[in-house]
Structure 1
Amino acid sequence: MDTARIGHYGANESASDLVTDSVTDLVARLLLTLGPRSLRISDLMAEMSLVHKATFRSNYLKPALTAGMIEMTDPQSPKNPTQKYRLTQLGKMMVKKLKC
């Protein structure tokens, strides 16, 4: 996927096409796993059959947060052990597009 295209629209390219192009397969997998729920990192990792937390954070969580696809349920306490993550409006739009 071409993530360098963020912020650049081609002549026949819509914003939703750009969003789809900028989402990696790993982030797409995270979004589809999360769905309408709010989940902790450990729960997300278990559902995705992943075990290495550092890799999960760098390859799945951080890109999804940076792209505005997911958000923390308690952003004032990012290191809270009960921190959960949920889809943003953009993330919900992406899930709908991915399911089509």
Structure 2
Amino acid sequence: MRCTFLVALLTVAQAGGAPALAAASRGQDAAATTQADPQRIGLHLKRTASEVQQLQQAVAAQESRSRQAQERLREQDRALEQLRQQLQATHPAPPSGKDGS
């Protein structure tokens, strides 16, 4: 899903982004618009690439935090299981019969 979004974003950015799309919709020649201001398009591509990189870093950081939280939960589960076993060893369960024999 992330990769699809990034590919779509880069495709639009390489095509000139919103200015090129708007120019095409007004009936102007998008190629002429692209050639008219290559510096602006280059700057837009750099900004877009920078934004994509920041988003990728944010996703990687979130995934790392998620893995760390998952490991902490596993450790807590193991600790709880050990405590449950210790409790059962020191306090055995009462007999299951209703008459107490």
TM-score scaled by length of structure 2: 0.20
More contact order relative to length (CA 8 Å, sep ≥ 6): 1
Structure having the higher strand fraction is 1
Structure having the higher helix fraction is 2
Higher CA-based Rg? 2
TM-score scaled by length of structure 1: 0.20
